[in-house]
């Protein structure tokens, strides 16, 4: 049963790592989106 406890702990750690990775990916996408909108605004200002 000790192995099962260790496995459960490992799965919890893997889950929190996956969530952290997902959050950072979303943050990067949001930053990229903000940059794209800023570029678009600059292009429209020149038009």
CA-atom Rg of the chain in angstroms: 20
At residue 30, the pLDDT reads 92
Instruction: Tell me the two tokens of residue 38.
Output: 């800023």
**Displacement of CA 2 from its chain's centroid (Å):** 33
Interval 3-44: pLDDT, tens: 888 989 988 999 999 999 989 999 999 999 998 888 989 989
Instruction: Tell me the two tokens of residue 43.
Output: 């292009």
Query: Please, which pLDDT band fits residue 2 given cuts at 50, 70 and 90?
Result: low
Instruction: Tell me the two tokens of residue 31.
Output: 């930053």
* pTM, to two decimals: 0.52
Instruction: Tell me the two tokens of residue 8.
Output: 């459960």
In the predicted model, is pLDDT for residue 1 greater than 60?
no
At residue 37, the pLDDT reads 87
């Amino acid at each position: 049963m000790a192995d099962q406890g260790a496995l459960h702990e490992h799965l919890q750690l893997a889950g929190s790592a996956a969530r952290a990775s997902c959050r950072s990916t979303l943050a990067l996408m949001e930053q990229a989106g903000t940059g794209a909108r800023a570029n678009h605004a600059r292009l429209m200002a020149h038009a």
